[in-house]
Structure 1
Amino acid sequence: MVQYKWIALSNTTIGVLMASINGTITLISLPAIFRGININPLNPSSFEYLLWILMGYNVVTAALLVTFGRLSDIFGRVRLYNLGFAIFTVGSILLYITPNQGTTGALELIVFRVVQGIGAAFLFSNSAAIITDAFPPNERGKALGINQIAALAGSLIGLVMGGILSTLNWRYVFLVSVPVGLLGTVWSYLKLKETGVISRGEKIDIPGNVTFAAGLISILLGITYGLEPYGSSAMGWTNPYVITALAIGAGLLIAFPFIERKVKYPMFRLELFKIRGFLMGSLSQILFSFAFGGVMIILIILLQGIWLPLHGYKYEDTPFWAGVYTLPMMLGFVIMGPISGALSDKYGAKYISTVGLVIIGTAFLALSTLPYDFNYPEFAVTIFVLGLGSGMFGAPNIAAIMNSVPRNSRGAASGMRTTLQNSAQTASLALFFTIIISVLISNLPTALSNAVTQAGAPQLAPLLSKIPATSALFAAFLGYNPIGTILSLLPSQLLATISPNAIATLTSTYWFPETIAPPFMNALRVSFYIGAALVLIGAVFSIMRGERVVYEEIADQPRAGGGNGSA
C-alpha cells in the first residue's frame, strides 16, 4: 500500500500547481481575454480592469491566508484544504462560462477570479502544513522542495499554457483547471486524513481577523488605484481616496499586533517571530517575493511588447512565444529545486538558500546589461541561471521555516509565511509598474513625437505625444500596436495628408516597439537594480538564520540553547 505521506504530497502538489498556474495564466493570455470580451486597451478605464484581473486574485489570497491558516489549526488542515479545492473549482467553472462582454464581462471576470482566490487561499495556507505533518523531519526538505517546485513551476507553466490556450479560445484558459479541480476535490475528500495536532476548544480571533484583513485589503486597494491616472496626473498617488486607503490600512496594520497581544487565541502567532529560523526565513522570503514578482511581469512586457514584434512575430502570437521563451527559467528551477531540498535535509538552509539569493541578484544585474534587441542565447542562459538560484533558495527556505515551529502552530505558520509572500508579490507589481510609468511619463512623449516625425507624419506628433503612459504600457503589455486604432479614429481630411509609406511604417510590427523600447529599457534597468538590491539584502537575513533547527528534535531538550531555536 502506498504510504500516506506520498498521497498527501501528490495531492497537495496538484493543488498548489493548479493554484499557481492560475496565478500567472492570465498574465500571458490577457490579450486574448480582452479581445474576447471586447475591451479597448486605449480606453483609460481599461487599465483598471487590467489591474484587477491581474492583481485581484493575489489581493484576496494575501488577505485571507493567515485567517485560513489559523482556522486550519482549530478545525483541521485537511478539512479546510478540501473545501479550498471545491471553491477553486467552482470559480474556474464560473470564469469559463462568463456570460457577458465589455465592462460587464470584465467585472464578472474580476468577481470570479476573487472566488478562485478564496479557494487558492485555502490551498496555499494548508499544503505546506499537511506535508510537514505527514513527513518525518529528515524528509521534509525533499517533500517541501517538490511542493515548491510545483508552486514556482506552476507560475512558469501558467505562462506557457496561457499562451497556448489563448490562441485557441480565451475561455480555455479557465476551463483547463476544471477537470484537475474536480479530480483533486474528489481525491482529497477520499484520501487525505488529519494527522496534525488540532487546537480544539480555541476560539476564532474575530478582532484580529477583521483588523488584519481590512488593513491589508485597504493597503492593497490603495496601491492598486495608485497606479491609475487621476485628473491630469498619469498616476493616482495624489488621489485623496488612495491616500485615505493607504493611511487607514497602515493604521489598522499598526494596531494589529497590539490587538493580538490582548486576545486569548490570536490568529497571528507573534511569538513565532522569536524563533530565529522563522523570522530570518520569512524576511528572506518577503524580499525575494518583492523582487521576483515584479521582475517577471517586466520580462513578459519586454518579450511581448518589444522583442518578439521586432523579430517578426505577429502581435496575436506574442503571448504564446513569450511563454515558450521563458522556459529556460522553469528548467533551471525544476533541476535545482529537488536537489537543494534534499541537501537541506542534511545540511540545513543557511548556506544553500543564501547562495541561491546571491545567484538571483547576479542574474538580475546580468539582465540589466542586455539591450532591448538582445541575442536570445544570452537571455536564455541568464534566466536559466535565475531559475537555478530560485530553486536553490525556495525549497530549503520553506523547509527551514516549517521545521522551526511547533506542530500545533504549523497551520498558522504556513498561512503567515504565504501571506507575507503573496502580499510582497502584489506590492511588487505596484512598485515596478510605478517605476516604469514614472520613467515613461518623462521620456515617452518626446520619443513618440520624434519617431512619428521621422516616419514622415509630423502632423501626428501633437496627438501621439499625448498618449497616456498607462495606455502605452497597457498596449505593450498586451502585445498590441495602438497606432492602427489611433489612425482609424482620425478625421478623413487629416488621414489623407499622411503618405501611404508613412502609414505602412507606423502600423508595422517594429515601429511602436522601437519607439517605446529606449524609455522602457531605462525603467527596466532601474527595476533590475532594485530587484538585485532586495535579494542581496535577503541573502544577509538568510545567512543570519543560524544552523539547522527541527522543532521535534529539540522540543524535549528545553535547556539546550533555549530549546526552540529562538534568536
Structure 2
Amino acid sequence: MVGGGGSRTVVLVAMTLANAMVLVDQTAVPLVLPSIIQHFGIGSQQVQWVLNASLLPLAGLLVFGGRLGDLIGRRRTFLLGSLVFAAASACAGSAPTFPLLLVFRVLQGVGGALMLPTTVAIVSDAHPPGDRGRVLGLMGGAAAVAGAFGPVLGGAMTSAFGWRSVLLINVPLAALAVAATLRSVRRDPPAAGSHRIDLAGTVSLSVALIGVVFGVAQSQVWGWGSAVVWSALAVGAVAAAGFVLAERRSRNPLLEFALLRRHRNYRAATVGQLLGGMAEMGLGVLFPLLLVLNLGMSPAVAGLALVPTTLPMIFVAPLAGRWYDRVGGRVPLVTGFGLLAASGVLLAAGVYGNSFLSVLPGLVVYGVGLALVLSLNDPVSLDQVPERSHGQASGVSAAAEQFGGALGIAVIYLVFHSVYVVRLHATITAGPLTDLTDTQYSTLRDDIVAAERTGLRPSSFDPAFVDYLHDVRWSSYTGFSAAFLAVAVLAVAGAFATWRWVRRPALDEG
C-alpha cells in the first residue's frame, strides 16, 4: 500500500492525523456549546444536538465505511471521507443558522465514518505483520492523547478566536492528511468481484444503531417513561433483527458473521472495544462532575487534573504494541482490563476521601488500563482476519467503540444518578433536617445543576438549601462510587472475554 515516492512514516502520520482529527472534534466541540447557545439564542436541550447530529451517523455508518473500503478501495474511500469531512467542517463553521449547523454536523459524521475504519486498515496494510502491533498502538495512542486534550484545545480556541474556529481548524488539517495520502499511499488496485453495496444491511444497521443510541441518549432528557424513547429503542431492536436476516441472505454482506464465528480474536476485540468505549466515555462524563462539582475545581484546573488519565497513552501505547508483537494480545489485554477493574475499585474507595489526592491513584491506574485496552484491540481485531476484510473488521471495531461510548454515557450516568437520588432521599428522610416536598426537591436539583461551574460551596449556593449541602455531597459520593464499581464490573467482563477467546494467531483453530 505504500507508494514508491512515499514512506511508511508518512502513511502513519497521515492516518494518525485523520484519526485524531475526528476524535478531537468529538471532545473539543462540547466546550463551544455555551457560545453556540448565545450566538443562535437557543436552549440547552437544543444545543445537545450539535453533538448527537455528528455522533449518530458516525455510529451508524462506520461498518459501511469499512466495507466500502474493502469493495472500492481503502485509499479512495479515505480520500472521499476526508473531503466530505473537510467540506462539512467548513460549512458548519460558517453556518448562518442553527438548523444548517446541524445539517453540516450530520455530514461531518458521515465523513468521519468513511475515514476512521480505513485509517486502521491502510496503516495495517502498509506494515509487515511483525510491526503492526507497534504502529497501530502508536497511532491509537497518539490519536487518543489528541482526543483527550480536545477540551483544552476547544476552550483555548473559543476564547481566542470564537467558536467557529474549532470547526474550521479541521479544514487545513484534513488538507494535510489528503496531501500526505496522495503522496504516500499507492492507488487502489482494481477490485475483484462485485462492487454492489449491501444497501439493505447498511440501512438496517444504521437504523438499529441510531435507534438505540437515540433512545438511550434521550432517556436522560425525556425520562424512561417517554413513549418516544421506547419507540426509538423498539425501532432499533426491529432493525437489528432485520439486519441479521438481511446479512444471512446477502451475497455480498456488509458484516460477515462467519468472521466473528471463525476468528476468536476478532470477536474478543469487538467485545473489548464495546466495553472499553463504555468505560472511556461514561467516566469521561463523570470525572468533570466529580472534580468541578464536588472538589470545587474550575473547569480549566479540572482539565489539568485529568492529565493523569491521558498521559499514560503517550508512554503505554507504544510499549503495549511491542508487548503484543512479542506475546500476542491475550496477556496484555487481560492485564489492561484487570487494571481497569482495579481502577474502578480504587476510585470507588478514594472518592470518599473528598480530595484530589485520594482519587489520584485510581485515575493513574485507569489511564494505564485504558491505554492498554484501546491500543491493543485494533491489532488483535485484525491479526486473524483475511486482508481482504480488514476494512470491514476495522469498521466493526470502530463502530463498537462509538456505540459503546454512547451506551456507556447513558448507563454509567444512570447508575450514578439513580444511586445518588435514592441515597439523598433516604439520608434527608432519616436525618434531623426537615424533609423536602417534591417541588423543593426539584428546586434543589436545579440548584445543584447550576452549581456545576462553581462547585458545591455554601457561599455560592441557594441559602434556602445550604443546610442540605453536606447530605448532597456525601450522597453524590455514593453515586460516584456505585458508577465506578459498575465500570469495574464491565472491565471484569472484558477480561473474561479476552481470556476466553484471544489466542496468538498461529494457535487459532479456524
State percent identity of aligned pairs: 24
Kindly state the Cα deviation for residue 177 of structure 1 after the two structures are TM-superposed. Answer: 2.4
- Bigger shift: 185-194 or 532-541? 185-194
Kindly state the Cα deviation for residue 188 of structure 1 after the two structures are TM-superposed. Answer: 2.6
* 1:173 equivalent in alignment to 2:166: yes
Tell me how far apart the structure 1 counterparts of residues 185 and 391 of structure 2 sit (CA, whole Å): 16
* 1:145 equivalent in alignment to 2:137: yes
Cα distance, 1:136–1:505 mapped onto 2, change above 3 Å: closer
Give the aligned length: 504
Partner of 1:232: none
Partner of 1:506: 462
| Contact 2:282 2:412 (C-alpha < 8 Å) held by counterparts | yes
Kindly state the Cα deviation for residue 137 of structure 1 after the two structures are TM-superposed. Answer: 0.1
What's the CA shift string for 1:312-348, capped at 9, x where partnerless? Answer: x4xxxx2x22222111211112111000101211211
Tell me how far apart the structure 1 counterparts of residues 425 and 101 of structure 2 sit (CA, whole Å): 33
| Contact 1:144 1:341 (C-alpha < 8 Å) held by counterparts | yes
The correspondence for 1:427, drawn from 393, 407, 428, is 407
Kindly state the Cα deviation for residue 253 of structure 1 after the two structures are TM-superposed. Answer: 0.5
Kindly state the Cα deviation for residue 417 of structure 1 after the two structures are TM-superposed. Answer: 1.2
Partner of 1:244: 231
| Contact 2:447 2:461 (C-alpha < 8 Å) held by counterparts | no
Partner of 1:413: 393
Tell me how far apart the structure 1 counterparts of residues 189 and 509 of structure 2 sit (CA, whole Å): 23
TM-score, normalising length from structure 2? 0.89
| Contact 1:36 1:170 (C-alpha < 8 Å) held by counterparts | no
Aligned residue type for 1:297: V
The correspondence for 1:133, drawn from 116, 125, 142, is 125
Tell me how far apart the structure 1 counterparts of residues 34 and 311 of structure 2 sit (CA, whole Å): 26
Tell me how far apart the structure 2 counterparts of residues 462 and 281 of structure 1 sit (CA, whole Å): 46
Kindly state the Cα deviation for residue 225 of structure 1 after the two structures are TM-superposed. Answer: 2.2
Partner of 2:73: 76
Aligned residue type for 1:47: Q
Aligned residue type for 1:88: F
Cα distance, 1:99–1:439 mapped onto 2, change above 3 Å: farther
Kindly state the Cα deviation for residue 201 of structure 1 after the two structures are TM-superposed. Answer: 2.5
Partner of 1:112: 104
Partner of 2:218: 225
Tell me how far apart the structure 1 counterparts of residues 219 and 94 of structure 2 sit (CA, whole Å): 31
Tell me how far apart the structure 2 counterparts of residues 111 and 513 of structure 1 sit (CA, whole Å): 43
| Contact 2:352 2:477 (C-alpha < 8 Å) held by counterparts | yes
Cα distance, 1:517–1:120 mapped onto 2, change above 3 Å: farther
Which runs of structure 2 are paired with 1:44-83 in the superposition (5 Å)?
A: 46-47=44-45, 49-50=47-48, 52-83=49-80
Cα distance, 1:371–1:511 mapped onto 2, change above 3 Å: farther
Partner of 1:23: 26
* 1:192 equivalent in alignment to 2:185: yes
The correspondence for 2:149, drawn from 146, 150, 157, is 157
The correspondence for 2:442, drawn from 443, 466, 486, is 466
Tell me how far apart the structure 1 counterparts of residues 103 and 171 of structure 2 sit (CA, whole Å): 17
Kindly state the Cα deviation for residue 285 of structure 1 after the two structures are TM-superposed. Answer: 2.0
Partner of 1:93: 90
Cα distance, 1:186–1:124 mapped onto 2, change above 3 Å: same
Aligned residue type for 2:45: F
- Bigger shift: 90-99 or 424-433? 90-99
| Contact 2:131 2:325 (C-alpha < 8 Å) held by counterparts | yes
Higher helix proportion = 2
Partner of 1:292: 280
Partner of 1:498: none
Kindly state the Cα deviation for residue 56 of structure 1 after the two structures are TM-superposed. Answer: 3.4
Cα distance, 1:472–1:431 mapped onto 2, change above 3 Å: farther
Where 2:385 maps in the other structure, the secondary structure is coil
Aligned residue type for 1:369: A
Partner of 1:262: 249
Tell me how far apart the structure 1 counterparts of residues 345 and 34 of structure 2 sit (CA, whole Å): 30
Cα distance, 1:275–1:371 mapped onto 2, change above 3 Å: closer
The correspondence for 1:532, drawn from 450, 467, 488, is 488
Cα distance, 1:524–1:447 mapped onto 2, change above 3 Å: same
* 1:517 equivalent in alignment to 2:492: no
Aligned residue type for 1:411: G
Segments of 5+ residues of structure 1 without an aligned counterpart are 41-45, 230-234, 484-501, 555-560
Tell me how far apart the structure 1 counterparts of residues 94 and 430 of structure 2 sit (CA, whole Å): 46
Cα distance, 1:39–1:246 mapped onto 2, change above 3 Å: same
Kindly state the Cα deviation for residue 415 of structure 1 after the two structures are TM-superposed. Answer: 0.7
Tell me how far apart the structure 2 counterparts of residues 480 and 281 of structure 1 sit (CA, whole Å): 41
How big is the alpha-carbon RMSD for the aligned residues of Structure 1 and Structure 2? 3.3
Aligned residue type for 1:426: A
Cα distance, 1:394–1:566 mapped onto 2, change above 3 Å: farther
| Contact 2:280 2:370 (C-alpha < 8 Å) held by counterparts | no
| Contact 2:5 2:184 (C-alpha < 8 Å) held by counterparts | no
The correspondence for 1:542, drawn from 493, 498, 502, is 498
Kindly state the Cα deviation for residue 395 of structure 1 after the two structures are TM-superposed. Answer: 2.2
Kindly state the Cα deviation for residue 209 of structure 1 after the two structures are TM-superposed. Answer: 1.2
Cα distance, 1:219–1:396 mapped onto 2, change above 3 Å: closer
The correspondence for 2:198, drawn from 201, 205, 216, is 205
Kindly state the Cα deviation for residue 540 of structure 1 after the two structures are TM-superposed. Answer: 0.9
| Contact 2:8 2:184 (C-alpha < 8 Å) held by counterparts | no
Where 2:442 maps in the other structure, the secondary structure is coil
Kindly state the Cα deviation for residue 190 of structure 1 after the two structures are TM-superposed. Answer: 4.2
Segments of 5+ residues of structure 2 without an aligned counterpart are none
Aligned residue type for 1:324: L
| Contact 1:445 1:465 (C-alpha < 8 Å) held by counterparts | no
| Contact 1:221 1:245 (C-alpha < 8 Å) held by counterparts | yes
Aligned residue type for 2:279: A
Aligned residue type for 2:274: I
Where 1:179 maps in the other structure, the secondary structure is helix
Cα distance, 1:449–1:304 mapped onto 2, change above 3 Å: farther
Partner of 2:347: 367
Partner of 1:323: 303
Tell me how far apart the structure 2 counterparts of residues 138 and 473 of structure 1 sit (CA, whole Å): 53
Cα distance, 1:262–1:27 mapped onto 2, change above 3 Å: same
Kindly state the Cα deviation for residue 301 of structure 1 after the two structures are TM-superposed. Answer: 1.9
| Contact 1:133 1:195 (C-alpha < 8 Å) held by counterparts | no
Tell me how far apart the structure 1 counterparts of residues 189 and 151 of structure 2 sit (CA, whole Å): 35
- Bigger shift: 181-190 or 208-217? 181-190
Partner of 2:291: 303
Kindly state the Cα deviation for residue 432 of structure 1 after the two structures are TM-superposed. Answer: 2.3
Tell me how far apart the structure 2 counterparts of residues 131 and 513 of structure 1 sit (CA, whole Å): 53
Cα distance, 1:473–1:213 mapped onto 2, change above 3 Å: farther
Query: Which is greater in Rg?
Result: 1
Cα distance, 1:224–1:546 mapped onto 2, change above 3 Å: closer
